[in-house]
Every structure is written in C-alpha cells, then in structure tokens.
C-alpha cells in the first residue's frame, strides 16, 4: 500500500524531450511522474519541435522559461552546466528520434525514460543497453498500462499454480479511431504511417508492444519459438504500414498464443485484453476495466477479483493507492510505472545492486524484446506471412 510517503531522499530532477502541448502522451508522463510520491520534479524540457511553443507551454506547466529549450542538444549542454541540472530525461517524441535522443542523454550521464517502441532495431537496443550499463544509468520504457495492479495479481496467481500449466495466451489491442481515416491525416497520425518516422510497423509497434510487454511481465518464463504474422492496410491511406495485424506464436513450453491489433476495429471501446488459459483455469483482464480480474476455474463458479481487496497477493497490493471499492485509472498505472523507474534510478545511483535487481520495472531489456518481436513479425509478414523461427 502506498500512502504518499516519499520513497526517495529527494525528488529526481526531471526533464522532457517532446511531450509538448499538442502531444498525445506528454500529459500522461507528467501525471505519472508528478504524483504525490515526490519521486520527480520537472525542471526543464525541450517539449516541442517549435521552440516558441516549447517555452510558452513549458512555463505554463511551471518550468522556468530559461530551462525551456528550443532543442534537446541545447538542453543537455545547458543543464550540464548547472549544479541543479537535470538528472533524468523522458523522451516522448515520434519513434524515429528515440534512439538519437536517448543516446545523447546517456552520453550526457543522464538516466532516460523512453517511449515505446523503443528504437527501430534490436541492434540499436543492444548498443544502448551496453552504453547504459557501462555508465550505470537506467533506461526505462513507458509501457504505461503495465502499472495496473491486477496484472501483478495475474502474475502471482500463475506463479502459485492457480491456473495450472499455461496452454494458450490470447492478446488483443484494437480500437477504431482510424477506421474513417481519409486522405488527410493529422500530424500525429501522419508520422505513424510513414516508415521513416514510425519504423517498419504502425499498429504492431504503436499498440501491440504494450500488450506484448504485459504478457511477458506476467509470464516471464514463456519464450516464443516460432511466429506467424499477417498484416494489412485496411484503410489505403495507411499503406504501406499495417492498421490491422494478426500474430500467432508457439512458446517454448508447448503453449500457443495469438494477438490481434488494429486501429480500424470500428466502435470498439474495450481495446486491450489479456487472457491466459491454463490447464486448470484461466485469467482474464481488460485495460478498460483495470480494477477487475476474472478467474475462471473449469468446473467451478467464475470468480471476479477486485483491486484493493485484502485477499489479493502482496505483489498486487504493493502499489495500491485508493483502497478497495475505490477505482484507479490509467493515471495511477502511469504513476506506478514512473515510481518503479524512480526506485530503479535511485538504487542505481546508490549502487544498491540487490535493490535494483528487485525492482520490477519496464527496462531497456523489455524495450529490446518489444523491438525484437516487431522484427520477427515483419520478417514473417515479408515472407508471405509464413511461420518463422523466432530470432
């Protein structure tokens, strides 16, 4: 149970690249980082490609004008000169810029919290992973849904054998907000369907990497051995990138899985779902109702577990804030993700290796595995949607 008590000796000095006024995701970063836990304080930012808009917006969210920077290189240079300079930077810019910005921050000795999909290639991820390790710096990835407590409950129950052996993993992240896209795309939509700015995927990277990560967090011992990906641009304006994709996979333990991701699933408001089928029981969760977990033992009444209840596992209660009967939302999940990254950074700063190992957070490896999965999906897709060995 969290009670708003500070977990760090003092808040980390935090800055952002991207996440400006028009950004879809910037506010979620601030909602997550600036929660009452005193883990972060926002000290600077290169919030926008437009320097003027950056300062105008930055000051309106409480950053001193002189620490609102027109570009991130200048931010790194100027902040480095200050005794109270930034310590950790969040990267909330379009995908193609993540690698360059992250690298520059690490080289400047700063921890990084980067958006997904982390980079374009596994090779880039590995390079950054090594760079961060060599400098004792943390790279966190904002899989923002992964802080929901009931996911930890799923994990705990599976570890305890409550569903038996895992046999089938059913993942979905689909919405319909691009179903009607015509020829004119919004800016945020335009970069997403351009391989130069988005990478080699649209919805697979934009949506499905979230769900893929959560499944991996819940089932750390399952590894994909082969995979098949079939993807389409059901709205022509999205070509050459996919707005709809189906992925099937076989795991090392004999279990199978499937994933559907789409941004043309018209009218669907129950976007993200995870079902884990075991030999005795199944667990089911939806991001639209994150406080609910469905536990279905074959041959017994179905069970509905509620967030915050004392019968939950301590893993699920660790980040509990509101208490039973009181709903939590995506902002709470982001707060949990940010808090876990803060704990990792703090442990790293203090050289507390064991503590660092113990913190569960979406790390650079998690980012890398997301990119690896995308590479395998693309490889299958480009081989005529053939089954491919997972590499």
Q: Which residue has the tokens 């081989």?
A: 383
Whole-number minimum distance, CB 216 to its own copies, in Å?
Answer: 20
> Rounded distance, CA 56 to CA 36, Å?
25
Residues 95 to 124: which contact its own copies by CB under 8 A? none
For 157, the token pair is 């129950």
Stretch that binds ligand NAD, among 2-10, 44-52, 148-156, 235-243 (CB under 6 A): 44-52
Residue 127 engages its own copies in binding (rule: CB under 8 A): no
**Contact partner at residue 254 from ligand NAD, its own copies, none, CB < 5 to 8 Å by partner kind:** its own copies
Residues 48-77 interacting with ligand NAD (rule: CB under 6 A): 48-49, 72
Cα separation, 274 vs 324, whole angstroms: 23
Calculate the alpha carbon distances from 54 to 93, 123, 227, 247 in Å. Answer: 13, 32, 43, 40
278 binds, among ligand NAD, its own copies, none (CB under 5 to 8 A by kind): its own copies
Site for its own copies in 148-167 (CB under 8 A): 163-164, 167
Cβ atoms within 10 Å of 7's Cβ, excluding its own: 12
Candidate ranges 5-13, 20-28, 250-258, 290-298; the one touching ligand NAD (CB under 6 A): 20-28
Residue 352 partner contact from ligand NAD, its own copies, none using kind-dependent CB cut-offs of 5 to 8 Å: none
250: β partners? 226, 256
97 binds, among its own copies, ligand NAD, none (CB under 5 to 8 A by kind): ligand NAD
User: Is residue 338 a contact residue for ligand NAD (CB under 6 A)?
Assistant: no
- Smallest separation, CB 93 to ligand NAD (Å): 4
Under the binding rule (CB under 8 A), the answer on residue 260 touching its own copies is yes
Among 262, 274, 115, which residue's Cα sits nearest to residue 199? 115
Question: 130 or 311, CB closer to its own copies?
Answer: 311
Considering just the CA atoms, what is the radius of gyration of the chain in Å?
21
The option from ligand NAD, its own copies, none interacting with 72 (CB < 5 to 8 A, set by class) reads ligand NAD
User: Is 276 in contact with 169 (CB distance < 8 Å)?
Assistant: yes
Given a contact cutoff of 8 angstroms between Cβ atoms, the answer to whether 259 and 247 are in contact is yes
Q: Is 326 exposed, middle or buried (0-12, 13-18, 19+ CB in 10 A)?
A: exposed
Interface with ligand NAD by CB under 6 A: which range of 43-51, 79-87, 125-133, 299-307? Answer: 43-51
């Amino acid at each position: 149970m969290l009670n708003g008590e500070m977990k760090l000796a003092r808040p980390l000095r935090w800055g952002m690249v991207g996440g400006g006024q028009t950004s879809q995701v910037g506010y979620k970063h601030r909602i997550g980082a600036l929660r009452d836990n005193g883990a972060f304080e926002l000290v600077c930012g290169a919030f926008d490609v437009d320097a003027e808009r950056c300062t105008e917006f930055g000051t309106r969210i409480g950053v001193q004008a002189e620490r609102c920077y027109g570009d991130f290189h200048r931010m790194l240079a100027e902040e480095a000169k200050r005794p109270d300079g930034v310590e950790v930077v969040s990267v909330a810019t379009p995908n193609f810029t993540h690698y360059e910005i992250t690298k520059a921050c690490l080289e400047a000795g700063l921890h990084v919290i980067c958006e997904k999909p982390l980079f374009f290639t596994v090779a880039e991820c590995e390079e950054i992973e090594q760079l961060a390790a060599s400098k004792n710096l943390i790279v966190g990835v904002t899989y923002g849904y992964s802080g929901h407590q009931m996911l930890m409950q799923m994990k705990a129950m599976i570890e305890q054998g409550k569903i038996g052996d895992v046999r089938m993993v059913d993942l979905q992240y689909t919405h319909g907000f691009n179903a009607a896209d015509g020829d004119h795309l919004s800016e945020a939509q335009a970069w997403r369907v351009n391989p130069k700015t988005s990478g080699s995927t649209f919805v697979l990277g934009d949506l499905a990497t979230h769900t893929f990560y959560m499944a991996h967090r819940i089932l750390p011992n399952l590894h994909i051995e082969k995979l098949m990906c079939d993807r389409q641009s059901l709205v022509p304006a999205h070509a050459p990138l996919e707005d709809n994709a189906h992925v099937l996979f076989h795991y090392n333990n004999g279990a199978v899985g499937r994933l559907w991701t789409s941004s043309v699933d018209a009218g669907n408001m129950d976007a993200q779902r995870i079902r884990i089928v075991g030999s005795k029981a199944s667990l089911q969760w939806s991001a639209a109702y994150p406080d609910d977990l469905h536990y279905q033992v074959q041959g017994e009444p179905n069970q509905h577990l509620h967030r915050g209840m004392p019968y939950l596992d301590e893993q699920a209660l660790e980040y509990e804030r509101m208490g039973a009967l009181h709903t939590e939302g995506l902002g709470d999940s982001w707060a949990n993700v940010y808090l876990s990254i803060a704990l990792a950074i703090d442990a790293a700063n203090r050289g507390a290796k064991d503590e660092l190992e113990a913190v569960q957070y979406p790390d650079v490896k998690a980012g890398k595995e997301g990119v690896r999965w995308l590479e395998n999906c693309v490889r299958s897709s480009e081989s005529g949607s053939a089954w491919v060995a997972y590499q």
